[in-house]
Chains A and B, each alone.
Chain A
């Protein structure tokens, strides 16, 4: 049941990300919803769910937009796992913590992509990429994650039956 809902969330986010998000892009930059949900499911539901969501998200990106199958799946898998470790110190009431973790995850993802996809091909202009891609995407992603986090939190509290304990 929970896995099905998670799968549904991944599919919806992936479709939005590759279609409608490009028309709300700001200065050509789109927020990265796939990183957001991987991170959220990681710290909200634990390592297994984080890995599951990350792996499927990454795989979808690989199939449609990647050149090597499994590469993004691996990165997202690791991101999901690391976020899952943070599940131990996660409290649903605090919004600062999720935002911090989503930001760190996005930075990690952007950094890995830059190093493997650009730095290795002798694109050394780090400050350009930092100013024109990494920072704008980070800011935009944080804004979007606020909108995504709260509804997801409510839905999954219902599914997990955790409402009683927090009240």
Chain B
């Protein structure tokens, strides 16, 4: 049977031309990303206002579904945990009393030294995660706060008490965050106990195992051990100093015999990030230019 031709209104563009036109548009967009801010800003705005309301609703549903699924799994663990925790409470109450005492002493001494405890005084904004990267290669997500809420590119993002990543793009009512486990991320870090510097590399292979890679640790005295805490370095130009990243999981000497590398277990559970805190203070205002 012969194919029935469907009548179309208007002029039909030949596919070849359309391909050419759209290819040119794509390439122009790419060039504009590197040269101007105007076009990407317009796109970010339009897309933000159209999509964010839906995204918020849908991510709410998916968070709810996840929580219900987890509830079933957890109930059994919770009962046994409860017993153990009650014992811990007694222990901790005792410790707490001691710590409170120490804290007063600390405040007093800090006042004397005129030091301010930076970490506690960062101003933070809470935000909800509304979407995750659609592919399987990168670890990028979207939060529901943007320029209108005072979020800027380059701000540090925390979840709980650990470092999650960096704001890499902003729209009027949304922002893109690239997490530190993403394959393209590098964080300049420091050992909390020995103050040795190291670099934390995001790596897709390690990410699937729930760890992060690190390297270039110069630990000539062999003092760093498994379980030691890693925080952000004060020489980093993007991350504020002293934010917890994780604990050393494995460590070994590099073939060059000078530096060490290995993996670390992050403080943050990157599989289940629903709420994050964005630090509105930035490391260096001029580092973005």
On A, residues with C-beta under 8 Å from B are 11, 14-23, 28-30, 32-34, 46-48, 51, 55, 58-65, 67-71, 73-74, 77-78, 81, 84, 113-114, 117-118, 121, 123, 125, 128-129, 132-133, 136-137, 160-162, 164-165
Contacts and interface: CB of A to CB of B under 8 A. Distances in A.
A18 B55 contact: yes
Q: Is the interface of B mostly helix, strand, loop or mixed?
A: helix
Interface in B116-131: 130-131
A58 B29 CA distance: 12
B66 to A, nearest CB: 5
B32 A32 contact: no
Given A46-B15, A161-B4, A64 B66 contact: no
Contact of B33 (A30, A64, A65, A70): A70
Interface in B140-187: 140, 142, 168-169, 174, 176, 183-184
A64 B58 contact: no
Contacts of A165: 1-4
Given A67-B169, A118-B204, 11 more contacts: A32-B134, A51-B15, A64-B47, A64-B176, A65-B133, A65-B134, A65-B135, A65-B140, A70-B33, A117-B183, A165-B3
Among the interface residues A61, A67, A78, which one has the most CB atoms of the partner chain B within 10 A? A67
Contact of A74 (B13, B26, B33, B174): B26
20 contacts: A11-B54, A16-B58, A18-B55, A20-B61, A22-B132, A23-B66, A32-B134, A48-B13, A51-B22, A58-B26, A61-B134, A64-B142, A65-B140, A69-B32, A70-B30, A73-B25, A78-B23, A117-B137, A118-B183, A123-B204
Given A69-B29, A69-B39, A129-B204, A18 B133 contact: yes
Contacts of A65: 131, 133-135, 138, 140, 142, 176
Contacts, number: 158
A77 B136 contact: no
Nearest to A33: B134
Contacts of B51: 11, 14-15, 60, 64
B19 A47 contact: yes
A69 B208 contact: no
A64 B32 CA distance: 16
Among the interface residues A34, A63, A84, which one has the most CB atoms of the partner chain B within 10 A? A63
B28 interface: yes
Nearest to A28: B208
Nearest to A159: B6
B176 A70 contact: no
B199 to A, nearest CB: 15
Contacts of B132: 18-19, 22
Interface in B65-113: 65-66, 69
A101 to B, nearest CB: 17
A84 B13 CA distance: 14
B249 interface: no
